Amino acid sequence: MRLSKDEVEQLAYAVIGAAIEVHRVLGPGFLEEVYHKALKEEFVMRSIPHMFEYPVVVTYKGRPVGGGKLDFLVGNSLIVELKAVQNFTPIHEAQVLSYLKMTKYPLALLINFNVNLLKDGIKRIIL
């Protein structure tokens, strides 16, 4: 069951709070994998419903042609994609937008942990 727009916004707020805590404790400079594991732990501690490395199928004209994994699917409605890069590039946003189109989920958070202030590394992407 997918959530209402307000419920998705509440989840996004909770995810951002969890990500800020991870960034506060670890800071920038680690590999993406470290942030994945730390955020997963923070979600568990905060009872944020999530699925880690959620598999998705890529279709072409109704036929499966490949697959991928969302870093996190939160509340069965919110995609969370993590990065640890110097800057977002257009391909990062294109990847998340493709995930939104493929899954029909309403919102994604693209989070870059390799920044001094995490608020500068969070991008909301809406389908």
On whether the CB atoms of residues 71 and 82 are closer than 8 A, the answer is yes
Give the pair of three-digit tokens for residue 54: 């959620």
25 vs 14, 38, 112, 118, CA distance in Å?
17, 10, 15, 12
Mean pLDDT of 22-49: 97
The domain in which residue 89 lies consists of 5-126
* pLDDT tens readout for residues 37-86: 999 999 999 999 999 999 999 989 999 999 889 999 999 999 999 999 99
CATH number at residue 63: 3.40.960
* pLDDT tens readout for residues 87-127: 999 999 999 999 999 999 999 999 999 999 999 999 999 98
- Give the total number of structural domains in the chain: 1
pLDDT on residue 92: 94
Predicted confidence (pLDDT) at residue 32 exceeds the cutoff of 90: yes
**Residue 91: what are its φ and ψ, rounded to 5°?**
-70, -30
